[in-house]
Protein backbone atom coordinates (compact mmCIF):
# COMPACT_ATOMS: atom_id res chain seq x y z
CA UNK A 1 0.00 0.00 0.00
CA UNK A 2 1.34 3.43 -0.95
CA UNK A 3 1.89 5.67 2.03
CA UNK A 4 0.06 9.01 2.20
CA UNK A 5 2.10 12.19 1.66
CA UNK A 6 1.50 13.69 5.09
CA UNK A 7 3.30 17.01 4.52
CA UNK A 8 0.81 17.84 1.77
CA UNK A 9 -2.15 17.50 4.15
CA UNK A 10 -3.95 20.42 5.79
CA UNK A 11 -5.35 20.25 9.31
CA UNK A 12 -8.78 18.99 8.17
CA UNK A 13 -7.18 16.17 6.19
CA UNK A 14 -4.98 15.28 9.15
CA UNK A 15 -8.07 15.11 11.34
CA UNK A 16 -9.65 12.65 8.90
CA UNK A 17 -6.47 10.55 8.82
CA UNK A 18 -6.34 10.43 12.62
CA UNK A 19 -9.98 9.39 12.81
CA UNK A 20 -9.26 6.56 10.38
CA UNK A 21 -6.44 5.50 12.71
CA UNK A 22 -8.84 5.57 15.68
CA UNK A 23 -7.21 8.63 17.25
CA UNK A 24 -8.77 11.88 18.53
CA UNK A 25 -9.05 14.77 16.06
CA UNK A 26 -7.25 17.28 18.30
CA UNK A 27 -3.94 15.53 17.63
CA UNK A 28 -4.07 17.00 14.08
CA UNK A 29 -2.85 20.40 15.26
CA UNK A 30 0.04 18.79 17.15
CA UNK A 31 0.96 16.78 14.09
CA UNK A 32 0.76 19.85 11.83
CA UNK A 33 2.92 21.77 14.31
CA UNK A 34 5.63 19.08 14.24
CA UNK A 35 5.66 18.95 10.45
CA UNK A 36 5.37 22.64 9.60
CA UNK A 37 6.51 24.75 12.57
CA UNK A 38 9.02 22.42 14.26
CA UNK A 39 9.95 20.83 10.91
CA UNK A 40 10.97 17.37 12.09
CA UNK A 41 11.90 14.66 9.59
CA UNK A 42 10.57 11.59 11.43
CA UNK A 43 7.54 10.52 13.47
CA UNK A 44 9.89 9.30 16.21
CA UNK A 45 10.73 12.93 17.07
CA UNK A 46 7.08 13.82 17.74
CA UNK A 47 7.43 13.27 21.45
CA UNK A 48 4.02 14.54 22.56
CA UNK A 49 2.32 11.83 20.47
CA UNK A 50 1.95 8.34 21.93
CA UNK A 51 4.35 5.64 20.80
CA UNK A 52 1.49 3.62 19.30
CA UNK A 53 0.28 6.61 17.25
CA UNK A 54 3.82 7.30 16.01
CA UNK A 55 4.06 3.66 14.92
CA UNK A 56 0.69 3.78 13.16
CA UNK A 57 1.73 6.96 11.37
CA UNK A 58 5.00 5.37 10.31
CA UNK A 59 3.06 2.49 8.72
CA UNK A 60 0.54 4.68 6.85
CA UNK A 61 2.27 7.94 6.08
CA UNK A 62 5.54 9.23 4.65
CA UNK A 63 7.26 12.55 5.37
CA UNK A 64 8.41 13.36 1.85
CA UNK A 65 10.88 16.17 1.60
CA UNK A 66 13.93 17.46 -0.20
CA UNK A 67 17.49 16.26 0.34
CA UNK A 68 20.43 18.48 -0.42
CA UNK A 69 22.70 17.53 -3.33
CA UNK A 70 24.69 20.75 -3.63
CA UNK A 71 24.72 24.24 -2.14
CA UNK A 72 26.46 27.27 -3.67
CA UNK A 73 26.83 30.40 -1.53
CA UNK A 74 27.74 33.74 -3.10
CA UNK A 75 30.67 35.47 -1.39
CA UNK A 76 29.31 38.78 -2.65
CA UNK A 77 25.73 38.97 -1.45
CA UNK A 78 25.10 35.70 0.42
CA UNK A 79 22.67 34.30 -2.17
CA UNK A 80 22.31 30.55 -1.63
CA UNK A 81 21.57 28.30 -4.57
CA UNK A 82 20.42 24.75 -3.82
CA UNK A 83 20.25 21.58 -5.83
CA UNK A 84 17.75 19.24 -4.17
CA UNK A 85 16.85 15.59 -4.73
CA UNK A 86 13.26 14.42 -4.15
CA UNK A 87 12.33 11.02 -2.70
CA UNK A 88 12.33 9.40 -6.19
CA UNK A 89 15.73 10.90 -7.05
CA UNK A 90 14.35 13.69 -9.28
CA UNK A 91 16.37 16.90 -9.10
CA UNK A 92 15.13 20.47 -8.61
CA UNK A 93 16.68 23.88 -7.91
CA UNK A 94 15.78 26.58 -5.39
CA UNK A 95 17.40 29.88 -4.44
CA UNK A 96 17.46 32.03 -1.31
CA UNK A 97 18.24 35.72 -1.90
CA UNK A 98 18.96 38.27 0.80
CA UNK A 99 17.45 41.70 0.33
CA UNK A 100 17.06 44.67 2.65
CA UNK A 101 13.31 44.07 2.74
CA UNK A 102 13.83 40.44 3.81
CA UNK A 103 14.83 37.04 2.52
CA UNK A 104 13.19 35.90 -0.70
CA UNK A 105 13.11 32.33 -1.95
CA UNK A 106 12.58 31.31 -5.54
CA UNK A 107 11.14 27.81 -5.69
CA UNK A 108 10.31 25.13 -8.28
CA UNK A 109 6.86 23.62 -8.76
CA UNK A 110 7.62 20.87 -11.29
CA UNK A 111 10.51 18.61 -12.26
CA UNK A 112 11.26 20.07 -15.70
CA UNK A 113 8.59 21.93 -17.63
CA UNK A 114 6.54 21.30 -20.75
CA UNK A 115 5.88 24.89 -21.79
CA UNK A 116 8.91 25.03 -24.10
CA UNK A 117 9.80 28.72 -23.78
CA UNK A 118 12.73 29.26 -26.13
CA UNK A 119 14.81 31.34 -23.70
CA UNK A 120 14.61 28.87 -20.81
CA UNK A 121 17.04 26.09 -19.89
CA UNK A 122 14.68 24.52 -17.32
CA UNK A 123 12.29 23.19 -19.93
CA UNK A 124 14.83 21.76 -22.38
CA UNK A 125 14.04 18.14 -21.44
CA UNK A 126 10.31 18.56 -21.00
CA UNK A 127 8.34 17.85 -17.85
CA UNK A 128 9.06 14.83 -15.69
CA UNK A 129 6.45 15.26 -12.99
CA UNK A 130 4.60 17.66 -10.73
CA UNK A 131 5.83 18.43 -7.22
CA UNK A 132 3.39 17.69 -4.41
CA UNK A 133 2.28 20.57 -2.17
CA UNK A 134 4.47 19.19 0.62
CA UNK A 135 7.54 18.99 -1.61
CA UNK A 136 7.09 22.60 -2.75
CA UNK A 137 6.74 23.66 0.88
CA UNK A 138 9.77 21.62 1.93
CA UNK A 139 12.04 23.63 -0.38
CA UNK A 140 11.29 26.62 1.87
CA UNK A 141 11.46 24.70 5.14
CA UNK A 142 14.85 23.29 4.19
CA UNK A 143 16.34 26.62 3.10
CA UNK A 144 15.07 28.30 6.26
CA UNK A 145 16.59 25.62 8.46
CA UNK A 146 19.86 25.41 6.51
CA UNK A 147 20.49 29.16 6.40
CA UNK A 148 19.16 29.92 9.87
CA UNK A 149 17.30 32.82 8.22
CA UNK A 150 13.59 33.53 8.26
CA UNK A 151 12.02 33.60 4.81
CA UNK A 152 9.66 36.51 4.29
CA UNK A 153 8.92 36.48 0.54
CA UNK A 154 8.28 33.67 -1.90
CA UNK A 155 8.40 33.72 -5.68
CA UNK A 156 7.12 30.74 -7.65
CA UNK A 157 9.50 31.38 -10.53
CA UNK A 158 11.80 28.37 -10.42
CA UNK A 159 11.44 25.36 -12.70
CA UNK A 160 7.92 24.59 -13.85
CA UNK A 161 4.71 26.37 -14.78
CA UNK A 162 2.81 26.70 -11.48
CA UNK A 163 -0.59 26.76 -13.18
CA UNK A 164 0.23 23.48 -14.96
CA UNK A 165 0.34 21.95 -11.45
CA UNK A 166 -2.72 23.86 -10.34
CA UNK A 167 -4.17 21.74 -7.52
CA UNK A 168 -0.86 21.11 -5.74
CA UNK A 169 0.23 24.73 -6.06
CA UNK A 170 -3.09 25.95 -4.68
CA UNK A 171 -2.75 23.53 -1.78
CA UNK A 172 0.79 24.76 -1.18
CA UNK A 173 -0.42 28.39 -1.09
CA UNK A 174 -2.90 27.48 1.64
CA UNK A 175 -0.35 25.45 3.62
CA UNK A 176 2.39 28.09 3.53
CA UNK A 177 0.06 30.90 4.60
CA UNK A 178 -1.66 28.84 7.31
CA UNK A 179 -1.33 30.55 10.76
CA UNK A 180 -0.53 27.19 12.38
CA UNK A 181 2.34 26.61 9.91
CA UNK A 182 5.10 28.93 8.72
CA UNK A 183 2.46 31.58 8.15
CA UNK A 184 3.84 33.63 5.26
CA UNK A 185 1.21 36.16 4.22
CA UNK A 186 -0.18 35.77 0.70
CA UNK A 187 0.79 39.38 -0.08
CA UNK A 188 4.40 38.23 0.21
CA UNK A 189 3.96 35.55 -2.45
CA UNK A 190 4.33 36.00 -6.24
CA UNK A 191 3.17 33.38 -8.68
CA UNK A 192 4.65 33.56 -12.15
CA UNK A 193 2.87 32.12 -15.17
CA UNK A 194 3.67 31.82 -18.85
CA UNK A 195 0.03 32.74 -19.50
CA UNK A 196 -2.42 29.83 -19.25
CA UNK A 197 -5.44 32.10 -19.61
CA UNK A 198 -8.20 29.77 -18.40
CA UNK A 199 -6.19 28.80 -15.30
CA UNK A 200 -5.60 32.50 -14.54
CA UNK A 201 -9.39 32.92 -14.52
CA UNK A 202 -9.85 29.86 -12.30
CA UNK A 203 -7.21 31.20 -9.91
CA UNK A 204 -8.93 34.60 -9.84
CA UNK A 205 -12.03 32.95 -8.39
CA UNK A 206 -9.98 31.84 -5.36
CA UNK A 207 -9.60 35.55 -4.52
CA UNK A 208 -6.14 35.07 -3.05
CA UNK A 209 -4.03 38.05 -2.03
CA UNK A 210 -0.94 36.84 -3.91
CA UNK A 211 0.73 38.81 -6.73
CA UNK A 212 0.23 37.36 -10.18
CA UNK A 213 3.24 37.79 -12.39
CA UNK A 214 2.58 37.25 -16.09
CA UNK A 215 5.52 36.43 -18.37
CA UNK A 216 4.42 38.52 -21.32
CA UNK A 217 7.83 39.02 -22.99
CA UNK A 218 6.35 40.32 -26.28
CA UNK A 219 3.26 42.42 -27.04
CA UNK A 220 2.56 40.93 -30.50
CA UNK A 221 1.47 37.40 -31.38
CA UNK A 222 4.10 36.80 -34.02
CA UNK A 223 7.03 37.48 -31.69
CA UNK A 224 5.43 35.92 -28.64
CA UNK A 225 4.52 32.69 -30.46
CA UNK A 226 8.08 32.43 -31.76
CA UNK A 227 9.51 32.39 -28.23
CA UNK A 228 6.59 31.00 -26.18
CA UNK A 229 4.55 28.14 -27.71
CA UNK A 230 1.79 28.76 -25.11
CA UNK A 231 0.89 31.83 -27.17
CA UNK A 232 -0.57 29.60 -29.89
CA UNK A 233 -3.13 28.29 -27.41
CA UNK A 234 -3.70 31.64 -25.64
CA UNK A 235 -2.77 34.57 -27.90
CA UNK A 236 -1.99 38.01 -26.44
CA UNK A 237 -5.59 39.28 -26.66
CA UNK A 238 -6.97 36.21 -24.86
CA UNK A 239 -4.26 36.49 -22.21
CA UNK A 240 -5.01 40.17 -21.63
CA UNK A 241 -8.70 39.33 -21.29
CA UNK A 242 -7.82 36.83 -18.53
CA UNK A 243 -5.58 39.43 -16.86
CA UNK A 244 -8.41 41.96 -16.90
CA UNK A 245 -10.69 39.37 -15.28
CA UNK A 246 -8.02 38.59 -12.67
CA UNK A 247 -7.72 42.24 -11.65
CA UNK A 248 -11.47 42.85 -11.68
CA UNK A 249 -12.07 39.78 -9.50
CA UNK A 250 -9.20 40.09 -7.01
CA UNK A 251 -8.38 43.82 -7.07
CA UNK A 252 -4.70 42.81 -7.19
CA UNK A 253 -2.40 44.66 -9.60
CA UNK A 254 -0.61 42.35 -12.04
CA UNK A 255 3.14 42.34 -12.68
CA UNK A 256 4.11 41.89 -16.33
CA UNK A 257 7.52 40.36 -16.90
CA UNK A 258 9.15 41.52 -20.11
CA UNK A 259 12.38 39.94 -21.32
CA UNK A 260 14.72 42.22 -23.27
CA UNK A 261 16.06 40.19 -26.21
CA UNK A 262 18.14 41.96 -28.86
CA UNK A 263 16.25 42.77 -32.09
CA UNK A 264 13.51 40.39 -30.97
CA UNK A 265 11.48 41.99 -28.19
CA UNK A 266 13.27 45.34 -27.79
CA UNK A 267 12.19 47.22 -30.93
CA UNK A 268 10.67 50.74 -30.55
CA UNK A 269 7.31 49.69 -32.02
CA UNK A 270 7.10 46.94 -29.39
CA UNK A 271 7.49 49.50 -26.58
CA UNK A 272 4.61 51.47 -28.16
CA UNK A 273 2.48 48.36 -28.53
CA UNK A 274 3.22 47.26 -24.94
CA UNK A 275 2.21 50.69 -23.62
CA UNK A 276 -1.00 50.52 -25.67
CA UNK A 277 -1.76 47.02 -24.44
CA UNK A 278 -1.44 47.99 -20.77
CA UNK A 279 -3.08 51.42 -21.07
CA UNK A 280 -5.72 51.88 -18.38
CA UNK A 281 -4.72 48.74 -16.50
CA UNK A 282 -3.11 48.87 -13.05
CA UNK A 283 0.15 47.21 -14.08
CA UNK A 284 3.73 46.91 -13.00
CA UNK A 285 6.21 46.21 -15.82
CA UNK A 286 9.47 44.46 -15.04
CA UNK A 287 12.07 44.68 -17.80
CA UNK A 288 14.37 41.68 -17.47
CA UNK A 289 17.77 41.37 -19.12
CA UNK A 290 17.88 38.07 -21.01
CA UNK A 291 20.07 35.38 -19.49
CA UNK A 292 21.83 33.70 -22.39
CA UNK A 293 21.20 29.97 -22.82
CA UNK A 294 23.68 28.04 -24.99
CA UNK A 295 20.87 26.20 -26.83
CA UNK A 296 19.03 29.42 -27.76
CA UNK A 297 19.97 31.97 -30.47
CA UNK A 298 18.46 34.83 -28.41
CA UNK A 299 20.89 37.51 -27.24
CA UNK A 300 20.46 40.12 -24.48
CA UNK A 301 19.52 43.67 -25.51
CA UNK A 302 22.17 46.36 -25.40
CA UNK A 303 21.97 48.50 -22.22
CA UNK A 304 21.19 51.68 -24.20
CA UNK A 305 18.31 49.90 -25.97
CA UNK A 306 16.87 48.82 -22.61
CA UNK A 307 17.05 52.43 -21.37
CA UNK A 308 15.32 53.72 -24.50
CA UNK A 309 12.62 51.06 -24.16
CA UNK A 310 12.08 52.01 -20.52
CA UNK A 311 11.86 55.71 -21.38
CA UNK A 312 9.35 55.00 -24.13
CA UNK A 313 7.13 53.16 -21.63
CA UNK A 314 7.47 55.88 -19.02
CA UNK A 315 6.62 58.56 -21.57
CA UNK A 316 3.37 56.72 -22.31
CA UNK A 317 2.50 56.50 -18.64
The residues of the shown chain that bind ligand SF4, judged by CB under 6 A, are 113, 115-117, 120, 122-123, 159-161, 194
Which of the 8 DSSP states describes residue 134?
H
**Residue 123 Cβ vs ligand SF4, minimum distance, rounded to whole Å:** 3
Shorter beta-carbon distance to ligand SF4: residue 18 or 154: 154
What are the E-state strand segments in 182-280? 189-193, 211-215, 254-260
Distance of alpha carbon 247 from alpha carbon 253, whole angstroms: 6
Shorter beta-carbon distance to ligand SF4: residue 185 or 297: 297
**Residue 109 Cβ vs ligand SF4, minimum distance, rounded to whole Å:** 9
**Residue 244 Cβ vs ligand SF4, minimum distance, rounded to whole Å:** 22
Residues ≥6 apart with Cβ < 8 Å to 305 = 260, 262, 266
Shorter beta-carbon distance to ligand SF4: residue 241 or 296: 296
Shorter beta-carbon distance to ligand SF4: residue 19 or 291: 291
State the sign of the Cα–Cα–Cα–Cα dihedral 107, 111, 112, 115: negative
What are the E-state strand segments in the chain? 4-5, 61-62, 67-73, 80-85, 91-99, 102-106, 110-112, 127-130, 151-156, 189-193, 211-215, 254-260, 283-289
Shorter beta-carbon distance to ligand SF4: residue 9 or 214: 214
Q: Is 300 exposed, middle or buried (0-12, 13-18, 19+ CB in 10 A)?
A: middle
Which of the 8 DSSP states describes residue 119?
T
**Residue 208 Cβ vs ligand SF4, minimum distance, rounded to whole Å:** 20
**Residue 288 Cβ vs ligand SF4, minimum distance, rounded to whole Å:** 11
Shorter beta-carbon distance to ligand SF4: residue 140 or 156: 156
Distance of alpha carbon 275 from alpha carbon 277, whole angstroms: 5
Amino acid sequence: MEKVDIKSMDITELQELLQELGEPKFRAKQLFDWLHAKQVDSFAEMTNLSKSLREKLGETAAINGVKIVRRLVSQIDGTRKYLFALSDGAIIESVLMKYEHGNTVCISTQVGCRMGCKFCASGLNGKKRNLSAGEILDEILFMQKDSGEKVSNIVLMGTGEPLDNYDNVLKFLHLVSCPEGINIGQRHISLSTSGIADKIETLAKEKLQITLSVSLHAPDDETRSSIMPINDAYPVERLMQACRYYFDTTGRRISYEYMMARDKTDRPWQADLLAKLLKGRPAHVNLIPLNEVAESPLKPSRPETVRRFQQALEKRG
